[in-house]
A and B are shown apart, each in its own frame.
Chain A
Amino acid sequence: MKCSQMHELIDRYLDGIQEGYDMESFRQHIRQCKSCRIMLDEKRELMYLFKSDAGPEVPLNFTNKVMESVKDLKAPARVKAQKGCAISYPVFRRLGVSMLLTAVLMIFSIFIPPEFGGAINGMAVERTSEIVTRTSELSKDISKINNSIKAFYKNFENTLSSIRR
């Protein structure tokens, strides 16, 4: 086993990770190599310093202070589904990301150097235009779907009311 392999092996040995490593060769090398033996001792010392530094205790009345702070806060409530909009959050997130990308591309197209401006600018403008079109289509689709779902719920409510009568 070479000294260059020992750095990481010593760390693993001190961390108690021995699986998958030839520990017999490791021990043999340590017995025979003074510099690696010194390195092992130095690293062992470092580990000991970490373990022996426990740090300060948590302040007294810590829990009371935290509870004092939270008692004036509005209690968190479970997230409820929004009425009148059955479209899922991820769709709005995609819409937001598309609009953000559009803005970034438009800003980027202003700062690119002239020698690259031609081709990249053209691609950016084309891509921006695609994104804007797609964003607009998505908005229309969302609006249509939302209206359909509202209509469905309305019919459903009417049907329920008539059944109850």
Chain B
Amino acid sequence: MDFTISKDLERFRQEIREFIAEAWPEELQREAHTNSAEQYPKVVEFRRKLGERGWIGLSWPKEYGGQGRSVLEEYVFQEEISYYNAPYPKVAAGMVAPTLMRFGSEEQRRRFLPRIASGEIDFCLGYSEPDAGSDLASLQIRAEEDGDVYVINGVKRWTSGAHRSEYCWLAARTDPEAPKHKGISLFIVDMKTPGITVRPIETMADHRTNETYWEDVRVPRENLVGEKNRGWYYVAAALDFERYTAFPVGQYRAVVDRLIETVKKAKYGGRRLREDPLIRQKLAQISIELEATQLLSYRVAWLISQGQIPNYEASMLKMFGTEAEQRMAHLATLIFGLYGQLKEGSPDAVSDGEFEREYRAVVMPTFGAGANELQRNIIATRGLGLPRS
């Protein structure tokens, strides 16, 4: 096993870093987690700059307006974006675009790919519902054919980005009589279409998500992606496209880097934290789990670069990374003892309350984007061949 990163790749990484330092400075990095409406114009500005460099669609085939760069280059780019909490149109570029390339019509590709690549537009994900989370295939929102349009009625929940994105990537039921996996279709919906109401949901991580209400929303037939009732198949395929972003190790590393720096300098009433053997043990364990996650992440990227489709490997990365980050956040607050509970803005808050906030943020990833219980099921059944329950 050879872990060498080529000089070219290192140079590219450096290039990205310099770009981000200039285009997405620290103040913006720190506030990125809020996903606020106020911040969106800055997000769009950065996105367009990415588009100008051709970095959205880095690894898309050239025939679709991409740069045709390698998987590893795309991977390195994603790591840096995540390290600096820089915005990236993940749904648009990572899910919508590859799906349109594989399953969409020529006309859809013409209408959307250039605008995604230029950074003009992003999509929010219309998947989960109040009664459809882990069991996504049981989604209920209806799309009924009416001449040249589909009429959408129903409710979506956890539609993060619905308050900012220009479009929605919507999974809806087109055939209620068919078995649940066989009656779903995928649509592209302009968020300005009449009938869509976006209600904010504030999370315990200070991150805004939404519940969206769809009342007689009329979507043109040209916005149906692929074949009617084949939507579930496309949803599954779309997951394969973004496996190496299954867990953003860059962002996790950034927190750990700041934690180490903070511990090095921390001194409370003359007590230097770095000298405490118990704190040293905790910090070391954090470092070990970070590097373990990094290697699992490289593995997924490498498999894809070899033309393979990782299945259990991506599940393992997501499962382990999210839990490791949870342990890290807990230990980070514990290391600072009583100071660990102080919020940003409080006197003596540690690192502007970063770890206090991180501790609240890490609650979600273990159930979001494929609950870890399901990931373990996948590892056991698809990875090790155990019989389904």
- Physical interaction between A and B: no
